[in-house]
Structure 1
Amino acid sequence: MKLRGVRRSRNIEDRRRSGGGGLKISGLGLLAVLAISYFTGVDVTALLDGGGTTYEGELTPAEEKSADFSAAVLGTTETVWTGIFRDQLGEAYVPPKLVLFSGATASPCGGASGATGPFYCPADEKAYLDTAFFATLQQQLGAKGDFAAAYVIAHEVAHHVQNEIGILPQVNRLRQSASQVESNALTVRLELQADCLSGVYARNVEGLLEPGDIDEALNAARRIGDDYLQSRAGRVPQPHTFTHGTSEQRSRWFARGFETGDVNDCDTFGAERL
């Protein structure tokens, strides 16, 4: 991904110098959090080899590079979604903040940690990312490349897009009165729509993609499918426990969004086939 000269977003909240920050789970969080955990239902210790590290003081050059990369990618999402909201939805886009942390931090939706993976909290309209997840994505899950990492950020921003257009609150209300299996099924549709919206973003990143970038994103989508993660953790995949969709579903919906670039083609809730 060509990020040299790209505007860096100012909507970055860097907590990596301040350490953990206490893990408090509010009642609102339990109901509203999207639980955008890439490791839901699997043995996270088998994947993370001990989790993240709490930084104190100055950050290393590699850590600074991760923050700069995140700010650049977030800046591209702001440009893209501002245009899409204007041209396709006739609305103004209000971007989210991206919280960078190490090891653990707190959010209104509950504790954020390296074990939960990146997630979006609708209560404060912020996405949370332990930048160590980039290394986990490449080294542990085999999703290499800068656009694989960009896809992770774009996916969380896509949840903010869902929140902005009212889909996320509707689904959260339905989940509160649903059984666990029904709630999981709703969450899968929500996650696949976010994958599709990530594809829409990728389609509209004019002039910034390089050869192989889309393949990197598709591979990342496959590597964080519920069936793949459960199998990798030594479990027989249990579809009724899925909360994000299979590897095939995640990559296919991303591809659909990329092929059309149209938000209206991401209606996973009206789709007969997921």
Structure 2
Amino acid sequence: MGANPLLPELEGRRVFVALGDSFTEGVGDRDERLPNGVRGWADRVAEKLAKAQPGWRYANLAIRSKRLRQIINEQLEPALAMKPALVTLYAGGNDILDLKTDMVALMADYENFVAQLAETGATLVLFTGFDVKVSALLEPLKKRNTFYNQRVRAIAAKYGAVLVDYWSLDAFHDRRMWDSDRLHMSKAGHKYLAGQVLDRLGVPHKITPKDWEPPLRPSLREWERQQRRWIHDWVLPLFGRKLRGVTLGDELTPRWPEPVKVPRKGGLKKLAAKSYCSEAN
């Protein structure tokens, strides 16, 4: 892959800030050696940036379960203060799942958010949402997803953002790209998405898609067992949290709240290990 036409313009201002919710925090890509116990596609992008051009610093302010308004209120000001050269944003997915959400108002807030980020002059990466086949019960949300994606595409074009059209990535039709909750990407999914982001930025990498055999069709008994497990492990706890008015992100803080210099060797795991040793001493 050739040299990235975007990166040379960022000399002396190599700060990458990732904003959003669980999608960007890295939920589904478990790694207890890292903050919040996850890794995710954004960490991988930061590490490849550092290898391509030493000196990149990285902050990830994303926290699972956050709605768009919370992301704006909690993440916009800190992000602007970091004077980023690269910003990634995915937000609004949790709002779509709430049937009370006014989609027109949501996307107006989203565009205002993007406009403020674009004013920094940073390269801005936006994402459409994916049509996750979780359950037939969620099929009525497809119209809302379509509206969201249409607006994101238009906003990306208006503000000159790089668009990762997640909706059109056929690789994610394989269930192995998804975690057991069926809503978040698996480790394989996060790795693949990191490659897609890097491709669109023109950053060299060696991330390759999984070369899987075609998935086996489960028997009816196995399918029923999987459904019961999914309802028990994920659906019932989700409804329980909604009834209590709590989310999984309520007690969490951002994984990388301040820009950290990404080591070229050992990556962020090396940095996390060093931080742990410092705290222990």
Query: What TM-score bracket applies, with the shorter chain setting the length?
Result: under 0.3
Give the structure-2-normalised TM-score. 0.24
Give the structure-1-normalised TM-score. 0.24
Higher RCO (CA < 8 A, seq sep 6+): 2
